[in-house]
Amino acid sequence: MSELQQNPVIAGQSNDSSFENIWQELKWRGLVHVSTDETELERVLSEESITYYCGFDPTAPSLHLGNLVQLLNMRRLQLAGHKPLALVGGSTGLIGDPRQTAERTLNTKETVTDWVAKLQAQVSRFLSFDGENAVRLVNNLDWTAPLSALDFLRDVGKYFRVGTMIKKDIVAARLNSEEGISYTEFSYQVLQGYDYLELNRQYDCTLQTGGSDQWGNLTSGTDLIRKVEGKHVHAYGTPLITNSDGTKFGKSEGNAIWLDAEMCSPYTFYQFWLNTADADVINRLKVFTFLSRERIEELAIEVAERPFKREAQRALAWEVTSLVHGVEATQKVIAASAAVFGNGELGDIDLPTLQAVIAELPTATIAADELGILNVLQASGLSKSQSEARRTVSEGGAYVNNAKVAGVDSELTVADFLHQRYAIIRRGKKNMAVLELAR
C-alpha cells in the first residue's frame, strides 16, 4: 500500500449475521433515508456483487464526522461482498459543492492537490485493500482534466435541463438568496453526474452513496447514465444526523470534529463521544460502530435502567476512537484522563496528550523564581490569598501533580513540572488548575 496505511482495527470488523441481508441491517442502523428503487436495490445487494462509489471533496485538509458516516457505510457494503470505489475529487474540489449560505472561496490548485493526498490517506484507513473486492482509490481529475470546455458542453452538458437543475433544493435556496449562485457552483451537479457516468463506463459502477443533502447530485448521475447509456443504476442517501435537542451533530465548542489528530486531538475526539446525550447514544452506536444488534440492545437497557453508569457512552467512545485513532492512542487517552484525576501516573503522559487533557482546565503562568507553594496556589487561582493558601496546605488539601504538599514551606522546582512545562495543581478532590512555567 506504499504510503497509505490501513487501520488494523478493520480486520476484526463484520456485519451482523442476525439480519436477513445487508440492506435490512443498513435500514436498522438508520442509514437509509432516500433511495432509487428500494426493492430492486435490496435484491441486487443481496444476490450480486456490485461496484459502488462515494465521493469526498478536498475542501479541507481533513475529513470530518459527516464523512465518517459515509466511510463506515462504504465499509459495511464492502464487508457484504461489494466492490468500493473511493473517489477523492481533485476536480470537484476545485469547484466546491454549493453551500446553503454563500459562495465557497476557491482554493489554489496546489492546495487542492495537497488535500487530495491527505484525504486519500485517511480514506484508506477505513477500507480494505485485500481480496477480490479490494477498494480502489480514484480521482475525478483524471477524466475531467483532459476534457475541453467544448467537449464538456457538447458531450455532457446537453443532457442536463436547466429547469430541472434549478429545482434542486440547494440551488433553489441559493437562487432565492441575496448572494445568488455562480455558474461555477451551479455546474457542480453536472460534474458529479459525469463522475458517475465515467465510473459506470470504466468499472461498471452501478451504485452511488452519499448524504441525503446530496440527493440532487446523486440523481444527476443516475439520470445521466440512463440518458447516455440507457442503463438503470442506483443511489441511496443516508440521513443527516442531528442531536435530539435539535443542535447540529459533529461540533464541539463550535468547532468541527476532524479525523486528523492534529486538527482534533484523540483526547478531544474521545471526550466528544463520551459526552453523548442518553437520548442520542444508541443511534450513534448503530451508525458509528460495528457492534452487533444484540450488544446495542443490551446497552439500550443499560441507558434506560442505569444511565448514571454511562456504559453505552464509554462503549461508543472506545469503539469510534479506536477505529479512527487506533487502540494504543485510545488507551493513552483513557489513562491520561484517569491520571489527571488522581488515578494514574502523570509523568507517563506524552506532551500532546497532556496538552489536550489540560486544555479544558484554567491555566496561568508562573515564573521560575516564584515557585513557593503559597505563590503557586495563589497564581493558579485556587486560593484567593496567601492566608487562604496557607490554610489549604495546613489542612492537607493541596496537591501538585497528584502528590500531597508536605508543608507551607514547600517549593517546586523546574523538575517538578511535567515535561518541564506544566504542573497540575489541585485543591481538595475536584478543584483543579494548570500552571505553565514562564519562558
Query: How does residue 105 score in pLDDT terms, banded at 50, 70 and 90?
Result: confident
The number of CA neighbours under 13 Å toward the Cβ of 303 is: 20
Query: What are the DSSP E strand ranges found in 287-430?
Result: 363-366, 398-400, 403-404, 422-427
Q: Is the pLDDT of residue 315 over 50?
A: yes
**What does the block give as the cell for 304?**
434506560
Report d(CA 316, CA 299) in Å as an integer: 10
Q: What is the pLDDT of residue 10?
A: 87
Q: Is the pLDDT of residue 1 over 50?
A: no
Identity of the highest mean pLDDT range in 102-116, 150-164, 278-292:
278-292
Name the one residue in this structure whose C-alpha cell is 435539535.
Answer: 246
Q: Is the pLDDT of residue 195 over 70?
A: yes
Q: Is the pLDDT of residue 5 over 70?
A: no
Inter-residue contact 401 to 342 (CB < 8 Å) = no
**What average pLDDT score do residues 239-268 get?**
87
Q: How confident is the model over 391-420, as pLDDT tens digits?
A: 999 999 999 999 999 999 999 999 999 999
CA–centroid distance for 46 within its chain: 29
**What average pLDDT score do residues 340-363 get?**
88
When mean pLDDT is compared across 16-30, 47-61, 171-185, 202-216, the lowest value belongs to 171-185
Q: Is the pLDDT of residue 249 over 80?
A: yes
Q: Is the pLDDT of residue 206 over 60?
A: yes
Q: Is the pLDDT of residue 92 over 70?
A: yes
Q: What is the pLDDT of residue 11?
A: 83
Query: How does residue 72 score in pLDDT terms, banded at 50, 70 and 90?
Result: very high
The domain over range 363-437 is classified in CATH as 3.10.290.10: yes
Q: What is the pTM of this model?
A: 0.89
Q: What is the pLDDT of residue 247?
A: 82
H or E segment at 270? helix 266-274
Q: What is the pLDDT of residue 24?
A: 98
**Please, what is the average pLDDT of the chain?**
92
% of the chain surpassing 70 pLDDT: 98
Q: What is the pLDDT of residue 2?
A: 38
Query: How does residue 253 score in pLDDT terms, banded at 50, 70 and 90?
Result: low
Inter-residue contact 120 to 127 (CB < 8 Å) = no
Q: What is the pLDDT of residue 3?
A: 41
- The span from the first CA to the last CA of the chain, in angstroms, equals 44
Q: Which CATH number fits domain 251-344: 1.10.580.10, 3.40.50.300, 3.50.50.60, 1.10.240.10?
A: 1.10.240.10
Report d(CA 93, CA 158) in Å as an integer: 23
Q: What is the largest CA-CA distance in the chain?
A: 86
Where along the chain do its domains lie? Answer: 8-238, 251-344, 363-437
> What's the CATH superfamily of 8-238?
HUPs (3.40.50.620)
**What average pLDDT score do residues 117-122 get?**
96
Identity of the highest mean pLDDT range in 171-185, 195-209, 354-368:
195-209
Report d(CA 279, CA 304) in Å as an integer: 10
**What average pLDDT score do residues 327-342 get?**
90
CB atoms within 10 A of CB 28: 15
Query: How does residue 299 score in pLDDT terms, banded at 50, 70 and 90?
Result: very high
**What does the radius of gyration of the chain's CA atoms come to, in whole angstroms?**
26
**What average pLDDT score do residues 162-178 get?**
83
**What average pLDDT score do residues 6-22 get?**
90
